[in-house]
Amino acid sequence: MARFDAVVVGAGPAGSTAARELAAAGARVLIIDRAEFPRYKACGGGIPLRTERLLPFPIDSVIEDSVHLLDVAYRGRMGFERDSGAPFAHMVMRDRFDALLLEQARTAGAEFRPSTAVRSLSRDGVVRLQAPGFAVEADYFVCADGAHSPVGKMAGLGEDIAECAAWEVEVRADAGALRRYRSRALIELGYRPWGYAWLFPKASVLSFGVVLPREQAGAMKAYVRRFVARLGLGAADVEVARGHKIRFRRGRERIADERVLLAGDAAGLADEFTEEGIFYAIESGRIAARNVLRAMGGGSLTRYQQDIDHELMPELRAARLIAFMFYGMLRRAPRPWMFASGKAPLLWDAFFAVQKGESTYAREVARIPLLPAIAARMLRS
């Protein structure tokens, strides 16, 4: 049976980051993933600048576009544009972006085994994983196998984490449409009780999608079709259409035990204002590697959850407060709120600062002492 210091399940941003940092520190690391790489990943593909700053290598080779313009509308009406003055996010195709992160992990010394679907997990001093025709054991496991996290479930972690639904399509637009949306992200509001649709520009396609409460998953396809049609692209070819879920850790849901921890989407580390999770995936991968290295030699991974609670959860809670305030005001008074949002620079200047890594959600919430009370009222309305 193969034996490693640590096994990472899932070669997305969280898993590849954890494996890269572990291997660079001298640990014997294996990454396993049920897919062949590169593989398509359902995701809008927006990479805030603050995410890029976490990485010790350039991502220029996989950037499809960089956006500094943000168009916001309410179901095609009451629209306004904000300009951040400089890019606040890069746009990538996740197959190429994730392949780059995996390549960096392998360059650091991590081994990779694709097309390996874990069927069972057992513990007897060490942790063992069984897959068809393959078995492996290690002292520690980093479970970064996505929002569904089958291996996390086998380990008894990540239960009762809140979730929502998303649907994405990649549209093969003509050259005129690609030029029209270059450097520009569109956000469409007006979905109840909350949610938004997006258009993100790529080099040869436009990514459309919608994110909604889980209970409205059945309406997502129709919403995206109408959004695409409103922008005059209803006849364009759809290359890929795929749904996925996003999870949100809100409290102290258990994401680590002595030998297994959850990172990224498996741990519900996405914010509830933008539903963005790649920043938190990479940051949690770094925290995971730090905890595995600290535990090697007989220690426990339980401190990982404390580190996540201390380092990431304040930011996720702040994003949730902002989301409840924003969507609550939008639900109560859509026209005045859209007018105020378009005219007042404070909200979007703060948003751009967070995305660029110049501020944080927690810092912006602290500037408005009444925000928690406002958000609580929105929750009750």
Query: Which domains can be identified in the chain, with CATH numbers?
Result: 2-43+94-161+249-311 (3.50.50.60), 64-92+162-247 (3.30.9.10), 315-380 (no CATH)
> CA 235 to CA 228: how far, in whole Å?
9
Q: Which two tokens stand for residue 373?
A: 């009370």
Q: What pLDDT was estimated at residue 81?
A: 95
Alpha helices in the chain (DSSP H): 13-24, 49-52, 94-108, 150-154, 175-180, 220-230, 278-295, 303-311, 313-332, 334-343, 346-356, 361-366, 371-380
- Quick one: pLDDT at residue 211? 97
Mean pLDDT by 10 residues, the chain (381 residues): 94 98 98 94 93 96 98 94 96 97 98 96 90 95 96 96 96 94 97 95 96 94 95 91 94 95 98 96 98 93 97 95 88 91 86 97 83 59 48
d(CA 102, CA 15): 9
Task: Give me the pLDDT at residue 325, please.
Answer: 85
Q: Which residues contact 24 (CB under 8 A, 6 or more apart)?
A: 108, 109
SS3 label, residue 317: helix
Strands 46-48, 89-92: parallel, antiparallel or unpaired by DSSP?
Answer: antiparallel
- 372: Cβ contacts below 8 Å, ≥ 6 apart: 321, 365
The DSSP call for residue 143 is E
- Residues with Cβ within 8 Å of 260's Cβ and at least 6 positions away in sequence, in order, are 121, 127, 140, 141, 143, 155, 157, 301
The pLDDT of residue 71 is 96
* pLDDT value of position 115: 96
pTM of the model: 0.95
For residues 118 and 131, is the Cβ–Cβ distance under 8 A? Answer: yes
What are the residue ranges of helices labelled H in 155-271? 175-180, 220-230
For position 328, what pLDDT does the model report?
Answer: 86
| Count of C-beta atoms within a 10 Å radius of residue 345 | 11
The DSSP bridge pattern shows strands 69-74 and 77-83 to be antiparallel
Q: What is the rounded CA–CA span in Å between residue 16 and residue 12?
A: 6
Q: Are 149 and 143 spatial neighbours (Cβ–Cβ below 8 Å)?
A: yes
Q: How far apart are CA 317 and CA 366, in angstroms?
A: 12
3-class state of residue 256 by DSSP: strand
